[in-house]
């Protein structure tokens, strides 16, 4: 019988999500890779429980995480049933709908029909009455935004989600969506998008908008799926994301240019007394509007290493300038 670490709240840092009352851990755990039915359940369990023992109270999922789509939610459902049920009120569990989930016109994009049916399916797989955060996973160019936001508002009114969020929406679409939600009496809690040293697209328009609107921001792929770690310094390991056939990080993405930058960054990280992954996470967290970073993982040791990034979050002006020089 799992007993959570008594000291789990002692070292994790928590930050209020935008202007809401909800605090999120600065690092959250994502179930995109390594939690589906093709992954080893014992390994998935070890990662989730290691994270919780370190104060990571937020698990991020989506209807389609697997493979097979849906199976990451089944994994968390089993964990909740067998280990984490006594801790449900200490957990923030999110899921999403927006990408292809089932055949035909009602299993994709942003219609009311798809979002609400998908949320019901997610709750069944998770074995929960409600999720804490329900996201629209990507903007739908065809469905009126009013309909999609109406579906998110319905999820809250039906008690199936406590909060709602947007993912992969542009600044302009986020602003419109937030207003439509406000019209329905609901504050948009959070926006989820990619952000890392190699992909800084949200810095100029999205982040300032979210701050102004009081919407929290949670970043994914802060480690560029592993490119901002030492994972590929000696080739492509067979058990790595790029080496194990993921369609999201093909070996061709491990380029000489990315590796050269990663090696220079690694030298700077070592001079700071950190690993490259720790410095990459700390660098993301220098931006105050970033409420949390969702880390991915394939082993509990990676989670331990990544959480230790919180021990050294400050950067000197020289270090920041050196990072800009390397990334230029």
Residues that bind ligand NAP (CB under 6 A): 30-33, 60, 137, 167-168, 192, 220-226, 229, 231, 240-241, 277, 294-298, 302, 305-306
Please report the beta strands in the chain, taking only residues with DSSP state E, as ranges in sequence order: 14-16, 23-25, 27-30, 58-60, 92-97, 131-136, 161-167, 188-194, 216-220, 290-295
| CB closer to ligand NAP out of 143 and 298 | 298
Alpha-carbon distance of 221 to 52, in angstroms, equals 20
Q: How far is the CB of 310 from ligand NAP (least distance, A)?
A: 13
Alpha-carbon distance of 249 to 129, in angstroms, equals 34
Strand pairing category for 14-16 and 290-295:
unpaired
| CB closer to ligand NAP out of 86 and 201 | 201
| CB closer to ligand NAP out of 25 and 226 | 226
Helix-helix angle 145-157:171-183, to 10 degrees: 50
Instruction: From 70, 42, 218, 207, select the one nearest 132 (Cα to Cα).
Output: 218
| CB closer to ligand NAP out of 234 and 316 | 234
Q: What is the CA radius of gyration of the chain?
A: 19
Q: Residue 240 — left, alpha, or beta (φ > 0 → left; ψ -120 to 50 → alpha)? A: beta
| CB closer to ligand NAP out of 177 and 294 | 294
- Non-local (6+) Cβ contacts of 190 within 8 A are 17, 18, 133, 135, 163, 165, 166, 215, 216, 217, 218, 291
| CB closer to ligand NAP out of 1 and 238 | 238
Q: How far is the CB of 135 from ligand NAP (least distance, A)?
A: 7
Tokens, residue 182: 């406000």
219: β partners: 193, 293
Q: How far is the CB of 176 from ligand NAP (least distance, A)?
A: 19
Q: How far is the CB of 168 from ligand NAP (least distance, A)?
A: 5
Q: How far is the CB of 298 from ligand NAP (least distance, A)?
A: 3
Tokens, residue 311: 């021990």
Q: How far is the CB of 6 from ligand NAP (least distance, A)?
A: 25
| CB closer to ligand NAP out of 3 and 94 | 94
Q: How far is the CB of 172 from ligand NAP (least distance, A)?
A: 18
Alpha-carbon distance of 209 to 155, in angstroms, equals 25
| CB closer to ligand NAP out of 55 and 296 | 296
Q: How far is the CB of 306 from ligand NAP (least distance, A)?
A: 5
Q: How far is the CB of 318 from ligand NAP (least distance, A)?
A: 25
Alpha-carbon distance of 170 to 188, in angstroms, equals 14
Q: CA geometry: angle at 155 spanning 153 and 159, to 5°?
A: 115
8 Å CB contact between 8 and 55: yes
Cβ neighbours of 134 (radius 10 Å): 27
| CB closer to ligand NAP out of 139 and 289 | 139
């Amino acid at each position: 019988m799992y007993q959570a670490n008594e000291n789990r709240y002692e070292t994790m840092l928590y930050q209020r999500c935008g202007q809401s009352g909800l605090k999120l851990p600065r690092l959250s755990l994502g179930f995109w890779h390594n939690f589906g039915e093709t992954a080893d359940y014992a390994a998935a369990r070890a990662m989730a429980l290691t994270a919780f023992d370190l104060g990571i109270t937020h698990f991020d999922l989506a209807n389609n995480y697997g493979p097979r789509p849906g199976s990451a939610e089944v994994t968390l459902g089993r964990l909740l049933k067998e280990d984490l049920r006594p801790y449900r009120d200490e957990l923030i569990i999110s899921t999403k709908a927006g990408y292809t989930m089932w055949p035909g016109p009602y299993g994709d994009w942003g219609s009311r029909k798809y979002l609400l049916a998908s949320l019901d399916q997610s709750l069944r797989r998770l074995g929960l009455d409600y999720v804490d955060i329900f996201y629209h996973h990507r903007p739908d160019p065809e469905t009126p935004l009013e309909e999609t936001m109406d579906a998110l508002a319905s999820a809250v009114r039906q008690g199936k989600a406590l909060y709602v969020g947007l993912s992969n929406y542009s600044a302009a679409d986020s602003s419109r969506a937030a207003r439509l939600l406000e019209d329905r009496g609901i504050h948009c809690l959070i926006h989820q998008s990619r952000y890392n040293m190699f992909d800084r697209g949200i810095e100029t328009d999205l982040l300032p908008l979210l701050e102004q609107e009081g919407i929290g921001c949670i970043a994914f792929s802060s480690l560029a799926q592993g490119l901002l770690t030492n994972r590929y310094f000696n080739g492509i390991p067979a058990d790595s994301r790029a080496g194990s056939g993921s369609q999201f990080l093909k070996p061709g993405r491990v380029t000489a240019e990315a590796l050269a930058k990663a090696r220079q960054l690694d030298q700077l990280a070592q001079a700071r007394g950190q690993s490259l992954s720790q410095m990459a996470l700390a660098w993301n967290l220098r931006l105050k509007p970033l409420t949390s970073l969702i880390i991915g993982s394939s082993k509990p040791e990676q989670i331990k290493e990544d959480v230790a990034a919180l021990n050294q979050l400050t950067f000197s002006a020289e270090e920041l300038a050196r990072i800009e020089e390397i990334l230029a």
